[in-house]
Chain A
């Protein structure tokens, strides 16, 4: 099942997406056309984890040796924004790029979860675009929050796919389209630390909570973006998440 959070008719709703993705069914049975809703981030997480350098080819692209333990950083909920929204690009951000990622939603929390049990703790999967602005990178707690915790700079969605509807999350194609042209592609089997390893690693020293998100990293293929660009990040069997860049300007949205 594909589960969404939407704003519609002045309220926030949980909704189930139809097979053809043309409509959504609310909890009370009402059907709403997909193009009539505002897509919100599909989960409200307590903690948002993200991985740096978790694809061998991307680490090489950025001239880093693959990390020996997962390079994990955290975000706040301010960073998240739903499907079909706009993200603001500051005027001096000439090196802003997308990062297509498979995101894992924790269903059952816990501490000391073994890798072989990790699957039982997953609620489902969604798609994230973990935008970065390379001009703002600094070598203190890198990637620093000025790069990775900007308001609305982590689109996520459109929905969460239930865990059991994804046969093998470690064998999915990922790709990014900018204005309809493919600019990034990869496969989740290229992750350095696989999803069960990440859940085991994190829960070895901290308690995970239901709804927590793990953005599992991005493969090779970075292209810088301009205002007006339409970016679609897509994970096979999970969904296609679209976001548009706009110039940052306080006077207009």
Chain B
């Protein structure tokens, strides 16, 4: 029987549920965010994005293209769930809703070769990395990326045969707004994990968002967003104005 990891609303425990049961709970909006560890994200891991930026990466403030993976942290206050609501901060008209793949680790992993990564992975989930749009990547974008609720993830964590073959579709109000194939990744998933693990440990429960779509969806107050990928379900989020 096909099974997935999920956290039921009101619980704190990850359960290994039958997919059909998880689907029912998700349809009723009764699954919580399935994450608990530290979440890291990676910017500029899209070949298309790097090609588009081209010579700009040789100029100030960057001076030269990135050598190491460009990482950021999504802290715990950003965690959100399928069926959740994201608030637009006051004065912000549109948010970037960048649907990506979350890799969740089952075991501590450090200084690992790409071929040994799969054995340390619990599974994968859809994530929508929300941010206030910003072009300048010179300084950590805490105020743009780390607001409450800015990381919906779910509805569940499931195995994926080949993470680099995943395609994520984003619909806004029922119409396709973005589509991203992970074949675009500059560093494929296992190589990315292995390279980062050379200087930091991914602990059991930690999560890595594998990259950002250079052509994401942009959303406004009142928009309903659905991100989906085969086998990983549908992640539904509503965007509202602050205080609405």
Contact = CB atoms under 8 A, between A and B. Distances in A.
A134 interface: no
Interface in A107-159: 111, 136, 138-146, 149-151
Interface residues of A, number: 32
A74 B44 contact: no
B200 interface: yes
Contacts of B203: 77-78
B75 A47 contact: yes
Interface string B194-229: 000001110100100000000000000000000000
Contacts of A65: none
B120 interface: no
Q: In the complex, which of the residues A77, A141, A144 has the most CB atoms of chain B within 10 Å of its own CB atom?
A: A141
Contact of A146 (B61, B64, B147, B199): B199
B211 to A, nearest CB: 14
A111 B77 CA distance: 11
B190 interface: no
A194 to B, nearest CB: 18
B195 to A, nearest CB: 10
Contacts of B7: none
B146 A205 contact: yes
Contacts of B201: 78, 151
A205 B200 contact: no
B interface SS class: loop
B200 A145 contact: yes
A142 B71 contact: no
Contacts of A71: 139-140
Contacts of A76: 38, 40, 73, 200, 206
Nearest to B110: A151
Contact of B73 (A69, A75, A111, A150): A75
B15 to A, nearest CB: 23
A149 B199 CA distance: 8
B122 to A, nearest CB: 17
A139 B63 contact: yes
Interface residues on B, range: 35 or more
A206 interface: yes
Interface in B60-78: 61-64, 66-68, 70-73, 75-78
Contacts of A138: 66-68, 70
Interface in A45-92: 46-47, 69, 71-79
Nearest to A72: B142
Interface string B69-90: 0111101111000000000010
A141 B147 contact: no
B140 A74 contact: yes
B137 interface: yes
Nearest to A136: B68
Contacts of B111: 250
Q: In the complex, which of the residues B43, B62, B66, B200 has the most CB atoms of chain A within 10 Å of its own CB atom?
A: B200
A141 B148 contact: no
Nearest to B111: A250
A140 B62 contact: yes
Given A74-B73, A151-B110, A144 B200 contact: no
Contacts of A146: 68, 71, 199
A111 to B, nearest CB: 7
A177 B62 CA distance: 34
B138 interface: yes
Contact of A206 (B44, B68, B71, B148): B148
Given A76-B206, A146-B199, A151-B200, 11 more contacts: A69-B143, A71-B139, A74-B75, A74-B140, A74-B146, A142-B140, A146-B68, A205-B89, A206-B78, A207-B148, A250-B111
Interface of B: 38, 40, 43-44, 61-64, 66-68, 70-73, 75-78, 89, 110-111, 137-143, 146-148, 199-201, 203, 206
Question: Lowest 8 A-B CB distances belong to which pairs?
Answer: A74-B73, A145-B71, A47-B75, A76-B38, A73-B140, A140-B70, A207-B77, A146-B68
7 contacts: A76-B73, A140-B44, A141-B71, A142-B139, A151-B199, A206-B78, A206-B147
